Amino acid sequence: MKHIEKVFFYFNDLSETQITQIKSLWDVYLDWNDKINVISRKDIEELYIRHVLHSLSIAKFIQFRPGSSVLDLGTGGGFPGIPLAIYFPETNFHLVDGTAKKIRVVNEVVKHVGLENVLATQNRAEELKTKYDFIVTRAVAKMMKLREWSSKLIKTEQTHAMPNGIIALKGGNIGPELKELPKGDFVEKQSIIKYFPESHFEEKYLVYLQM
Ligand code: SAH
């Protein structure tokens, strides 16, 4: 459970249940990663920084409200959806991936951790029909593609301090893909290193696109 204390340092308001749930991620991911490689082998040792803390950067940007609904598009092994579902137990999370074996792992994690606010299904983004308050996503597609998929998936009714939209975790040179977005779009780019000054988060960004 290398660096788990960093999660508790940056989030010092967790309940006993949340602490237990975060600890329980270690065994289940280690176990499933041996069977199905959902996280790269090099990365699994760094689960708490590279995956859990990275996912929770979204919780430093926005507080999802009780009863609201959030879609994690292309969740893979459950990121950012699983850590966010632990952090926001009153919010409903739908974790979607096009690959069945990834969803199988996510469902095992959900069961092991005891999450009651997560639904995980195998779907292509293009075929989704339900509407959500927010869409979260990490390392899935360019902003233009995410925007295209999301246009029909975001509720028009607003319930949060900031307008409904997409919150994408991205790395590297994202300037070009942000430039592709239409001029009238409201886009905000935050450096994750601003929340967590660990070197891993250099060149990592949270991009918020209002829909
Ligand atoms: N978000 C995870 C996984 C990123 S890998 C993480 O950051 O760890 C990208 C994932 O997106 C893959 O699991 C892939 O199956 C999924 N994906 C890509 N295009 C998709 C689409 N059109 N619909 C659903 N899932 C998609």
Beta carbons within 8 Å of 65's beta carbon, 6+ residues apart: 90, 91, 133, 159, 160
Q: Residue type at 89?
A: P
Backbone angles phi, psi at 106, to 5 degrees: -60, -45
Q: How far apart are CA 62 and CA 9, in angstroms?
A: 19
Backbone CA torsion sign across 62, 66, 68, 72: positive
- For the stretch 140-190, pLDDT in tens is 999 999 999 999 999 999 999 999 999 999 999 999 999 999 999 999 999
Q: Are 32 and 44 in contact (CB under 8 A)?
A: no
Is 140 touching ligand 1 by the criterion CB < 6 Å?
yes
pTM of the model: 0.97
Is 190 touching ligand 1 by the criterion CB < 6 Å?
no
- For the stretch 35-83, pLDDT in tens is 887 788 778 889 999 999 999 999 999 999 999 999 999 999 999 999 9
Average pLDDT, the chain: 96
CA–centroid distance, residue 106 to ligand 1 (Å): 13
Cis peptide leading into 83, omega within 30 of 0? no
Which atom from ligand 1 is nearest to the alpha carbon of 99?
A: 15
Which atom from ligand 1 is nearest to the alpha carbon of 75?
A: 1
Mean pLDDT of 108-113: 97
Domains and CATH numbers, the chain: 4-210 (3.40.50.150)
Q: Best mutation site among 57, 97, 167 for ligand 1, i.e. most ligand atoms within 8 A of its Cβ? A: 97
